[in-house]
Amino acid sequence: MAGSGCPGGGAGGSQGAGGGPGTALRAPRAPLLLAALVLGAYCLCAYPGRCPPAARVPAPAPAPTETPRAAGNPGAPALPVASGPGRRRFPQALIVGVKKGGTRALLEFLRLHPDVRALGSEPHFFDRCYERGLAWYRSLMPRTLDGQITMEKTPSYFVTREAPRRIRGMSPDTKLIVVVRNPVTRAISDYAQTLSKTPGLPSFHALAFRRGLGPVDTAWSAVRIGLYAQHLDNWLRYFPLSHFLFVSGERLVSDPAGEVGRVQDFLGLKRVVTDKHFYFNATKGFPCLKKAQGSSRPRCLGKSKGRPHPRVPEAVVQRLRDFYRPFNRKFYQMTGQDFGWD
């Protein structure tokens, strides 16, 4: 469910992983009908999925579209309490980004912790399904006992302009985790994912630049997602920097125990997930779990993780590196972390 919408689709507008407005104009020379079919298939693959079904618990009418209030606030609507052990709560922590940064790996690693209960799928509540209301959102969450943390991850939140205001409306104390990765390799990985679903897609450089190798096309979301400093500017209007933890996607591969340890510290958890839980899978090129939750067998992420990237000319890669450099440096200054991408 990591895909996002075509231009103009979904609550996040054009922030997702679809092609930019000029995509069709930059398609390879081909009959008009073939070009239209390719573009249509691309949009169909990227179009937002439906909101996930709510859990089978009674729920009141949805909260107002733009101003739902968190439980505990005066006048907040009554919310359902699940039967059985524990109860459904709003997430105290969210993995809000970024797509193709390593968010799925981080979530699966954290789910090894006995005090973390996380929704497996991406609910897309704060970008696509917000009109369903907070009661519906809470009904999706797993039951937790006192002392356990409820989490969910939806990478498109980080690039959705309305998401930080909406999350603050749920709870201003929410902890926010952002997994970031070199924006150039992130963009190529994003493209590779879409290409696997739409083989007739124009080349990476045809989408990344206007007029051949002209200006970088920031209207294409695979490029725009990597402007981390711009997106963080929007979040800092609603949350202080102390509410964020920025996880390196590269170090999540090279030192998963170290990065997961930082996350456990940030969440106020004991460091239960350690290096004993990981081994490096040379075939896939990233860490796997020695023992998955509820299983006696080692487990790696799915086939879609670690897929080979298409070959991109070095001149294209270098131009993108030059383009991102000032944005990266601003991001380093904002977060107080040098991710070493330059």
- Model pLDDT, residue 285: 73
CA of residue 239 relative to chain centroid, distance: 18
79 close to 138: Cβ distance less than 8 angstroms: yes
Which runs of consecutive H residues, i.e. helices, occur in 111-182?
Answer: 133-140, 163-170
Task: Collect all residues with Cβ–Cβ distance below 8 Å to 72 and sequence separation of at least 6.
Answer: none
> Is 154 assigned to a binding site?
no
Using DSSP's 3-state secondary structure scheme, residue 153 falls into: strand
Asked if residue 249 belongs to a known ligand binding site, the reply is: no
Are the CB atoms for 245 and 262 separated by under 8 Å? yes
Q: What is the predicted pLDDT for the residue at 338?
A: 98
The annotation status of 103 as a binding-site residue, yes or no, is yes
Q: Does 72 belong to an annotated binding site?
A: no
Average model confidence (pLDDT) across the chain: 80
The pLDDT value given to residue 254: 94
What's the pLDDT score for residue 51? 79
pTM assigned to the model = 0.76
Q: Is 325 annotated as a binding residue?
A: no
What lies within 8 Å, CB to CB, of 290 at 6+ separation is: 276, 277, 278, 279, 298
Tens digits of residue pLDDT in 88-103: 999 999 999 999 999 9
Indicate which residues carry an active-site annotation.
Answer: 100
Q: Indicate the range of 26-30, 193-197, 321-325 predicted with least confidence.
A: 26-30
247 forms beta bridges with: 179
Q: Which residues does residue 244 pair with via DSSP β-bridges, in sequence order?
A: 176
What's the pLDDT tens digit per position in 228-248? Answer: 999 999 999 999 999 999 999
- In the predicted model, is pLDDT for residue 269 greater than 50? yes
Scanning the chain, the segments in alpha helix (DSSP H) are 32-46, 103-110, 133-140, 163-170, 183-197, 204-208, 221-224, 228-235, 249-254, 256-266, 314-335
Higher local confidence (pLDDT), 37 or 227: 227
Was 132 annotated as part of a binding site?
no
Whether 57 has a pLDDT exceeding 90, the answer reads no
